[in-house]
């Protein structure tokens, strides 16, 4: 009887460990020690040169096969006393960013905020935002973002894919967005 119980317990522990590793399977680590952030991103993605890009764009990765799938990190200055909560609730910040995107005359896409939530990690607050985007050609995209404030900087981590692939990559993208952390 004890032998059977022992085997059952070991099997359950093994399954638990396997299921834990599946959550980060297919992801690799990126650390920017100079700017103070890190995240996991999908295997098979490559970095994109951002030297000639807009101010604040710090890093971009793109899927080498499905090139429209990408992630980016934008780092902006904020007042050193500002916290993420002082910028607003997750929904307020989500709608503020949404308004900025929708009011940009050069940006003729339609963006809808579909979820906004807050989480705490090692004493830092993160807002996780989820958007659905409709491009001028009516193609739909799905975006996930994680936003944090640290050391007078506003960090925005964004992952994007076409809507038709969202169901396939949702868990991977959620794990990636939830892995984003600042220090």
Question: What domains does the chain contain, in order, with CATH numbers?
Answer: 28-182 (3.40.1000.10)
Confidence of residue 24 (pLDDT cuts 50, 70, 90): low
Average pLDDT over all residues of the chain: 87
Q: Tell me the two tokens of residue 149.
A: 């404030």
Confidence of residue 100 (pLDDT cuts 50, 70, 90): confident
pLDDT at 13 exceeding the cut of 50: no
E strand or H helix at 115: strand 110-121
Q: Tell me the two tokens of residue 133.
A: 């985007």
111 contacts: CB under 8 Å, gap ≥ 6: 98, 101, 102, 131, 132, 133, 134
Residue 102: its pLDDT value, please?
A: 67
Distance CA(178)–CA(46), nearest Å, equals 20
> Residue 59 forms beta bridges with which residues?
73
> Residue 71 forms beta bridges with which residues?
61, 159
What's the mean pLDDT in 86-108?
A: 84
- What are the start-end ranges of the H helices in 37-162? 84-87, 90-103
Cβ proximity of 130 and 112 under 8 Å: no
Of 146, 152, 143, nearest to 76 by C-alpha is 152
Tell me how far CA of residue 32 lies from CA of 35, 38, 76, 97, 111, in angstroms: 6, 6, 15, 24, 30
Query: Regarding predicted confidence, which is higher, 72 or 99?
Result: 72
> pTM of the prediction?
0.81
Angle at 41 between CA 94 and CA 104, to 5 degrees: 35
Confidence of residue 97 (pLDDT cuts 50, 70, 90): confident
Q: 24-38, 91-105, 136-150 — which is least confidently predicted? A: 91-105
């Amino acid at each position: 009887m004890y032998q059977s119980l022992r085997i059952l317990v070991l099997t359950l522990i093994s399954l638990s460990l396997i299921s834990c590793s599946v959550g980060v399977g297919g992801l690799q680590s990126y650390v920017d020690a100079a700017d103070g952030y890190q995240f996991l991103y999908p295997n098979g993605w490559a970095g994109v040169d951002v030297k000639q890009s807009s101010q604040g764009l710090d890093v971009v990765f793109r899927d080498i096969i499905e090139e429209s799938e990408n992630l980016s990190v934008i780092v902006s200055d904020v007042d050193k006393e500002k916290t993420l909560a002082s910028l607003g609730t997750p929904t307020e910040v989500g709608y503020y960013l949404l308004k900025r995107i929708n009011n940009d005359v050069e940006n003729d896409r339609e963006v809808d905020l579909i979820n906004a939530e807050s989480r705490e990690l090692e004493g830092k607050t993160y807002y996780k935002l989820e958007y659905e985007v409709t491009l001028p050609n009516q193609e739909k995209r799905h975006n996930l973002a994680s936003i944090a404030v640290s050391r007078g900087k506003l960090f925005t981590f964004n992952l994007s894919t076409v809507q038709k692939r969202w169901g396939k990559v949702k868990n991977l993208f959620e794990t990636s967005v939830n892995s984003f952390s600042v220090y």
